[in-house]
Amino acid sequence: MGKEADTVVKKAVKNHGGDATCLLDIIRDVQDAMGCVSDEAVLQIARQLGISTTDVEGVVTFYHFFSKKPVGKYSVYLNNSAVAVMKGRAAVAKAFEQGARCKFGSVSSDGVIGLFDTSCIGMNDQEPAAIINGAVFTNLTPEKAKDLVEAMKAGKDVNKMVKDLGDGQNQSALVKSMVNNNIQKKGQVLFAPFEGGSALKKAVSMNPAGVIDEMKKSNLRGRGGAGFPAGMKWSFCRDAAGKKKYVICNADEGEPGTFKDRVILTELPHMLFEGMALAGYAIGSDEGILYLRAEYAYLKDYLENVLAGLRKKKMLGKDAGGKKGFSFDISIKLGAGAYVCGEESALIESAEGKRGAPRNRPPFPAQYGYMGKPTIVNNVETYCTATRIILEGGEWYAKMGTAQSKGTKLLSVSGDCKKPGIYEVEFGMTIQTLLEECDGRPAVAVQVGGPSGNCVGKKDFGRRICFDDLATGGSIIVIGSNTDLLEVVHNFMDFFVEESCGWCVPCRAGNVILRNKLEKIMHGNGTMADLKELEDWCLIVKSMSRCGLGQTSPNPIYTTLKNFRELYEAKVKKDVEYSTEFDLAAAVEDSCKYAGRKPQLGEHS
Amino acid sequence: MSDKITFTIDGKECTGKKGQTIVEAAKENGVYIPVLCHYDGLKPAGACRICTVRVGGRNMAACTTPIANDIVVQNNIPELEDMRKAIVEMLFVEGNHMCPTCEKSGNCELQALGYRYLMMAPRFPYLWPTKQVDASIPKLYIDRNRCILCLRCHRGVTTKDGKHIFGPVKRGDRTMITADPELAAGMTDKQAQQAMDICPVGALLKKEVGFVVPVGKRKYDQKPIGSEIQGN
């Protein structure tokens, strides 16, 4: 065992040039070869890289897809997002457990099948879905789960378990996935015809400042959710001191319910890479990095091939786009399962091979980013949009949308609606119109912007999707009357507890405290005073947390307390001022069992 | 161009030097901002958030935010003070803090802040987590029951060539401090004492000594935390 670890680690470290900033890649190689990253492997990696074991173990244990214990010959990561639950996850999970004869969170006794929960994998339009050894399986049913278990027991190649391929490039030889694009509505920015190379050629015919000017004229705001003006970000970075600069694309869409970047990566990668290249030209960078979430690793070979094609066409590499003296190339870095890495500074830390904890700011990435160099980090959709803006002009773009939100937005619509999928719509569309288009009319609530966003009820369906009103990074979850909204809220709080990086106190402890209080109320032990406390405590976590995760993680509770207060009030005891969550019967159960008597709870029962 | 920066904290005119954080400049101006993960000389972590102040209406950690000319800092306002108290309370409920038997009692910054904020019982229910004590290091215990994950040991205790002896593993509420066994085994008595001193609570405890200074005669038994900066 020790010898094997030694050989595997040596090879992995060598493959990545003994570079500690490639720690995630090294760990991934070791995990793939050995099925886990044992204590011995941690020690070997640390010693060979000349760093502390705590640095290595810190990374191994931070990311969901790395494990110190064996995860099975086949590792089933079954999505546990709220929409997966709506679509019948429980029955599918049960079928996996019965077939594999082990519970979720463990590995079958023969070591063949490991079952694990996982946060939203970007397949909300085709749930329940799971990732097995990197391959995605969608629209699962108990029967399909049973078949998969049989195939795993028979030792079948996971790619051969994929039967029907999805549409579009999902059929490409390098993808061969059953994932469907579900493009429901095409707009004129992302899904209008695009001639590869045209935008970069146009950009390099302008001067870099001119490119940034067009971006500023367009008023394009970042599409990941935060909405920072992209042109401004680019100009800060262009003006920052230093020769070496980086263009990073954030393809770590982890907000439950968003999957639009998956579709862009599948169908519009040329547009994305061209956007990155012209951004490189604008800010004076020669190096781009696509940070791809581990859940989308099934697209990596395909994307590498697209990049190779662009190099061949001289759109990347030396004299890119035919511009003498402008070099630009793009590499892909894989994540390893951490929602918080969608936060730009956490993403940079992760790309540098560290734990994905956000940085303190200032300094901002535009001054001090990847490897300490000025860096822009933009969303997949933002770069694609930039490509169109350079082609059509900033003014053309700014004619669409609302006062504060120009252009179109790609929405990922899922949940209780008949037409889940992606919709490219002009900013300013009302929730009601969207519900009509996706056939989600019986909706009682809509979660706009994912768990970190806003949960609105019928009275707000006239409100508009835009930064001026209801902002969203793209996630729209329709919640019908058959779904228990408080269960959804609870699912979202579980998600934040799981995904908090643990760096700051309010987010680390506060989210657990909020979830527990929610449970107290859901179990019928709450009082009106608990509702008041719940609201106050949400504000503490929102006000004191260090990054966007903790500043928004109370939102599932906070916005439903505001918009669906009656659901909470129906659960609380109105006639008592105080109610303990302490369950006396449960607390004395074990001791009574051993003492061989029944609990005598008297007035406490 | 002068490096002198002028700004206000709660209306008081303050001066500082370019590059200073709000916490550092406030201290020089005799204004106490509570800190816990901050330790003079170490790179700020912004982990505990107890130093949160309001700058131009926005909440910022004073330990990581640099001063700038004419900024208006709100520090001692009831709303913030209550949220700071809540942070202390969160730390008490997310760990297992048994002050009366703790070797750090009286020298513990968390305990001292509990007193400063007149914490009686925390407003939050106790989480009673199960935490493991690591006694494998020759000269130290890591008692995670008392650890507040301030990362001071991670930042401040290193080998001569700069390797971290301590560091965080896992994430979220499962995050815990662990040590590199080999590097930790090489710690001298002096380093072990430094590690214990750098720890604001009783999570790093030197083995084989204890209660050299009796409880009642310790740092915060004499004067409350913050008095060294704001006087009285």
Reported as a single tens digit per residue, the pLDDT across A329-361 is 999 999 999 999 999 999 999 999 999 999 999
Q: Distance from CA of residue A299 to its chain's centroid? A: 15
User: With b meaning 16 or more CB within 10 Å and e meaning fewer, what string describes A296-308?
Assistant: bbbbbebbeebbe
Whole-angstrom distance, CA of residue A583 vs CA of residue A529:
19
For residue B197, give Cα distances in angstroms to A555, B210, B225: 39, 13, 16
Q: How confident is residue A603, by pLDDT bands cut at 50, 70 and 90?
A: low
Residue B228 lies in a domain: no
Residue B222 lies in a domain: no
- Does residue A15 belong to the interface with chain B, where contact is any CB pair within 8 Å? no
- Nearest chain B residue to A57 by CA: give it: B169
Flag if A52 and B164 touch (Cβ within 8 Å): yes
Residue B219 lies in a domain: no
Residue ending a domain, among A479, A513, A541, is A479
pLDDT tens per residue, range B178-203: 999 999 999 999 999 999 999 999 99
Boundaries of domain holding B196: 85-206
Whole-angstrom distance, CA of residue A553 vs CA of residue A542:
7
Q: Which residues of B touch A544 (CB under 8 A)?
A: 49, 52, 59, 83, 86-87
Flag if B164 and A509 touch (Cβ within 8 Å): no
Q: What is the CATH number of the domain that holds A138?
A: 3.40.30.10
Average pLDDT of the residues of chain A:
96
Boundaries of domain holding A584: 487-605
Bridge partners (DSSP) of residue A332 are A290
Q: What is the CATH number of the domain that holds B43?
A: 3.10.20.740
Same domain, A321 and A423: no
- Does residue A308 belong to the interface with chain B, where contact is any CB pair within 8 Å? no
Same domain, B116 and B31: no
Same domain, A216 and A342: yes
Token pair listed for A499: 């995904």
Interface test with A, best of B169, B170, B183 (most A CBs within 10 A): B169
Window 512-531 of A, Cβ < 8 Å to B: 512-513, 516-517
pLDDT tens per residue, range B99-153: 999 999 999 999 999 999 999 999 999 999 999 999 999 999 999 999 999 999 9
pLDDT the model gives residue A605: 45
Same domain, A394 and A412: no
Same domain, B101 and B32: no
For residue B178, give Cα distances in angstroms to A29, B154, B213: 24, 9, 28
Whole-angstrom distance, CA of residue A122 vs CA of residue A253:
8
Q: What is the CATH number of the domain that holds A24?
A: 1.10.10
Whole-angstrom distance, CA of residue A144 vs CA of residue A160:
14
Residue B22 lies in a domain: yes
Same domain, B170 and B117: yes
- Cβ contacts from A onto B, under 8 A: 134
Residue A38 lies in a domain: yes
pLDDT tens per residue, range A119-172: 999 999 999 999 999 999 999 999 999 999 999 999 999 999 998 999 999 999
Q: What is the CATH number of the domain that holds A548?
A: 1.20.1440.230
**Which one, of A120, A198, A212, lies nearest residue A414 by Cα?**
A120
Q: Distance from CA of residue A96 to its chain's centroid? A: 24
Same domain, B69 and B91: no
Q: How confident is residue B232, by pLDDT bands cut at 50, 70 and 90?
A: low
Q: How confident is residue B231, by pLDDT bands cut at 50, 70 and 90?
A: confident
Flag if B172 and A503 touch (Cβ within 8 Å): no
Bridge partners (DSSP) of residue A448 are A454, A476
pLDDT tens per residue, range A80-127: 999 999 999 999 999 999 999 999 999 999 999 999 999 999 999 999
| DSSP string computed for A32-65 | HHHSS--HHHHHHHHHHHTS-HHHHHHHHTTSTT
Which strands sit side by side in the sheet containing A454-457, from one edge to the other? A183-185, A421-426, A408-415, A475-480, A443-448, A454-457
- Does residue A581 belong to the interface with chain B, where contact is any CB pair within 8 Å? yes
Does B1 score more than 70 pLDDT?
Answer: no
Same domain, B93 and B200: yes
Same domain, B130 and B104: yes
Same domain, B186 and B91: yes
Same domain, A284 and A375: yes
Whole-angstrom distance, CA of residue A315 vs CA of residue A318:
9
Interface test with A, best of B97, B170, B171 (most A CBs within 10 A): B171
H/E run at residue B220: helix B219-222
Token pair listed for B69: 């000319």
Domain total in chain B: 2
pLDDT tens per residue, range B11-51: 999 999 999 999 999 999 999 999 999 999 999 999 999 99
Q: What is the CATH number of the domain that holds A342?
A: 3.40.50.11540
Residue ending a domain, among B76, B99, B122, is B76
One-letter-per-residue 3-state SS of B61-127: ECCCCECCCCCEEECCCHHHHHHHHHHHHHHHHHCCCCHHHCCCCCCCHHHHHHHHCCCCCCCCCCC
Same domain, A189 and A156: no
Same domain, A393 and A413: no
Residue ending a domain, among A62, A82, A109, is A62
Residue A443 lies in a domain: yes
Share of chain A above pLDDT 70, in %: 99
Same domain, B70 and B150: no
Same domain, B53 and B123: no
8 A C-beta contact, residue A205 and residue A192: no
Residue A173 lies in a domain: no
pLDDT the model gives residue A585: 81
Residue B173 lies in a domain: yes
Tell me: ipTM over 0.85.
Answer: yes
Same domain, A373 and A470: no
Q: How many CA atoms lie within 13 A of B144 on its CB side?
A: 19
- Nearest chain B residue to A500 by CA: give it: B172
Same domain, B59 and B106: no
pLDDT tens per residue, range A482-532: 999 999 999 999 999 999 999 999 999 999 999 999 999 999 999 999 999
Same domain, A355 and A222: yes
Does B81 score more than 60 pLDDT?
Answer: yes
Domain total in chain A: 5
Whole-angstrom distance, CA of residue A44 vs CA of residue A360:
31
Task: Assign A472 to helix, strand or coil.
Answer: coil
**Which one, of A549, A204, A234, lies nearest residue A383 by Cα?**
A234
Same domain, B94 and B159: yes
Flag if B168 and A537 touch (Cβ within 8 Å): no
Q: How many CA atoms lie within 13 A of B175 on its CB side?
A: 32
Same domain, B34 and B103: no
Q: Which of B44, B49, B165 sits opposite A505 (nearest CB)?
A: B49
Residue whose structure tokens are 């990049």: A307
Residue A171 lies in a domain: no
Same domain, A103 and A248: no
Flag if A54 and B164 touch (Cβ within 8 Å): yes
Does A218 score more than 90 pLDDT?
Answer: yes
Same domain, A9 and A107: no
Residue ending a domain, among A398, A429, A452, is A398
Residue A177 lies in a domain: no
Whole-angstrom distance, CA of residue A199 vs CA of residue A392:
9
Whole-angstrom distance, CA of residue B132 vs CA of residue A61:
17
Same domain, A136 and A153: yes
Same domain, A200 and A295: yes
Residue type, B30: G
Share of chain A above pLDDT 90, in %: 93
Whole-angstrom distance, CA of residue A41 vs CA of residue A33:
11
Residue B127 lies in a domain: yes
Token pair listed for B135: 């006694």
- Overall pTM > 0.90: yes
pLDDT tens per residue, range A588-597: 888 999 998 8
Q: How confident is residue A224, by pLDDT bands cut at 50, 70 and 90?
A: confident
Residue B211 lies in a domain: no
Bridge partners (DSSP) of residue A117 are A78
Residue B15 lies in a domain: yes
Whole-angstrom distance, CA of residue A273 vs CA of residue A115:
36
Q: Which of B124, B125, B178 sits opposite A57 (nearest CB)?
A: B178
